[in-house]
Every structure is written in C-alpha cells, then in structure tokens.
Amino acid sequence: MSNAPKHPAKSTLAGFTQDFYLGLAIVVFGALLLLWIIPAQVNDAGSFGLPPSLAPKALAWVMIICGAVIAVQNLRATPGGRDLVLSEVVFLGACLLAVGLTLVIMGLAGQAFDRPNAGFMVGAPLGLIAFTFLHSRTPVWAYAFNAIVAPVVIIAAFWWGLELPLP
C-alpha cells in the first residue's frame, strides 16, 4: 500500500496554487492604487495637517503587504492546494471592475458638481450596491442600507472622528 493521497492536488499555471495568484493580484491592485489611482483622485494641494490621501495610501500599503504575504506563503504548490477556478477569476475581475468604475464615477461626479465630496456621495453608493450584488443576493433593504447609511457613516467618521475631509 502506498501512502500517496487518493486525489493529489492538480497544479495550476507554473505549478502555483490559486492563493499565489490571488496574492499577486492584490499586490498589483494595491500598487495601482498607490501609484496611479490615488494620486489621480486625491488632491493633497493646500491641505493642512494630515493630507487627505493619508488613509487611502495607508490602506493601499496594507493591501500590498498582505498580498505579498499571501503570495510568499504559496510559492510552492502544496498537496492540499486548490486549483485556479475560472469562476473565481471572473469574480475577482468583476470586483476589480466595480472598484474601477466606482472611482471613475466618483471623479466624473466630482467634476460635474465641482465638489470632490459630491463624487463620493454619488460613486460610493453605486459601488456598494455593486459589491452587495456580487457577494450575495440580499434583500432590497440591504442594498438601501449599503447605498445610504454606509457612505454617511464613512463621511462622519472621517470628517468628525478623524477631522480629515474626504477627497
């Protein structure tokens, strides 16, 4: 009798598991946020004290670090590793597309109303609705909650709690 597992794990591209590629995707998206999206969306000119880009940049760095940790932990395919599943790759792509479209809408709305905060109040609810839809098929009240209450709480936390105006 052999000690080999009955169903050995199949390796994916170049022998790496799905978690390795997920970690790389998080690192790439965090780098895009840090180097391109945040500078294009947040104006630090004329800010006093902490710049408005501080929180987004800190979160982008956390994404890069966490993604790198995930990728490094999964450098080698392990017998218990999972294969890269097309439906999960499509889901990740849809989430990234939702973030990208949310940021574009925020920029366009901010320019249209000539107020950057208006961009957040238009783009954030639409983005939260998209994420609610992507992650679960929930009741209508959950969509309304995510579209109205969550942005108001975020704005209140930044403006009054952290005394940082949202970009």
Instruction: List pLDDT tens digits, range 93-113.
Output: 787 788 778 877 877 877 787
Residue 117 has pLDDT above 70, yes or no: no
pLDDT (average), residues 67-91: 73
Supply the pLDDT for residue 152: 78
Residue carrying structure tokens 């839809």: 133
Work out the pLDDT band at 4, boundaries 50, 70, 90: very low
Q: Is 13 helix (H, G, I), strand (E, B) or coil?
A: helix
Beta strand spans in 49-136 (E): none
Residue carrying structure tokens 């940021």: 103
Supply the pLDDT for residue 84: 61
Of 64, 154, 142, 48, nearest to 106 by C-alpha is 154
- Lowest-pLDDT range, 9-18, 73-82, 101-110? 9-18
Contact residues for 84 (Cβ-Cβ < 8 A; gap 6+): 12, 13, 17, 18, 21
Q: How open is the CA angle 148-136-99, to the nearest 5 degrees?
A: 60
